[in-house]
Structure 1
């Protein structure tokens, strides 16, 4: 009871700050100790923090809305999956076309590797959505509204995508904040629209798994399915950024205006 009173007395911004300080600290440790640097490690930290805060607030972990409980949830997952797949393919297609490249099918498909890849990205997408659109986003949303919740989560979400134990320029940091921040807002819109994490998990998964199979730049070069044939001298980063910005904006508008993506009863 005393712990519940203590938690209740803390403002939401302080609870969320403590949550993200621990997450960022764990990410730094994971960068220093490679054996810890895994999705399981980060998810375990987020799960523990969420359990501690929710227990003090006398709320179950499932209140975060990550468990499908009805047919509408499963429909939202597969709708998100389809949107994510189509969006990445559109962004990749525009990028490759603008940079004057082309994809060549490798002719080699390893079903076991493909299944492992699917599992890894499904798990990673779930862990990221639980960590960032779970307890911290939902508490900020309830206390301060959608604008504060959306913008506040973009920074730690960007930091997660950086290697904290290596030097990062301000330009690299701001570019990461811009790109991942837009993604964070997109996934936040999924939660605002449906009241659960299911849609954002599906969309995140669809985007990431196809991104792992379709190379868009000389650095990515070749995946299990495709090789990118392109003169590196013709490559321009803006041709990656602009399609991404455009496709993300379209997804935001479509999801927000869609009548088929309603909150589950």
Structure 2
């Protein structure tokens, strides 16, 4: 019985429920909106300039698959596995979210052009995805948020993503290399990106309240938490 509960605790977030389809659509919409906002603000403030637009279909298909898999893998490891374990140990989802978010920021320090500010921003990303996971009990909402954040940022808008240069549809020239823009790490590592992280968190909370009517439920019912 104990083994069955343990397996169920980790498999349940991978199944779908009546909210999953809308969670994916809304998740993609939220972070797409946020990244377009970052792009517009960066243009208006003279942090970047557009030098061209062009589609390399082969490259786009490659990065589409790569970002889908990468976002799914990170959500599986950090949310479905690690966050679920920490909730079981600490009996408090907020402590679990804090720990996994700090660790999520820390592991990104190994990326090229990473800074303490970019690690803080990635940690906020962990908070975004952690809240989405805890309050839906499924991987689909955080996965959609994570995928669209990275996908629109790099393969579409041409920003670097977490220190990696990606060929985007929009060709950008980065005019600012300071903490404000995020520079070669990408906008998620700078002040503009961080401000939009908080906007995303607000939209996540609003969607959870609209779709579920509450923010009080935890990631797993007590009888599903592995003992």
Which shifted more, 137-146 or 177-186? Answer: 137-146
Residues 1:196 and 2:138 aligned together: yes
User: 5+ unaligned residues in a row in structure 1: which ranges?
Assistant: 5-54
Structure 2 Cα separation of the partners of residues 133 and 100 of structure 1 = 33
Q: Deviations over 1:114-164 (max 9, x none)?
A: 222111101110100010011221232243312211111123212332338
CA contact (8 A) 1:99 1:239 kept: no
Indicate the RMSD between aligned Cα atoms, in angstroms: 3.0
CA contact (8 A) 2:59 2:167 kept: no
CA contact (8 A) 2:10 2:80 kept: no
User: 5+ unaligned residues in a row in structure 2: which ranges?
Assistant: 183-189, 218-227
Residue of structure 1 in register with 2:158 after alignment? 215
Structure 2 Cα separation of the partners of residues 146 and 61 of structure 1 = 15
Which shifted more, 195-204 or 249-258? Answer: 249-258
Q: Secondary structure of the equivalent of 1:154?
A: helix
Residues 1:243 and 2:185 aligned together: no
TM-score by length of 1: 0.65
Q: Deviations over 1:43-93 (max 9, x none)?
A: xxxxxxxxxxxx4864236534023x2342111012111112111111122
TM-score by length of 2: 0.75
User: Please, which of 67, 84, 102 is the counterpart of residue 121 of structure 1?
Assistant: 67
Structure 1 Cα separation of the partners of residues 137 and 166 of structure 2 = 38
Q: Which structure's CA Rg is the greater one?
A: 1
User: Please, which of 112, 131, 136 is the counterpart of residue 82 of structure 2?
Assistant: 136
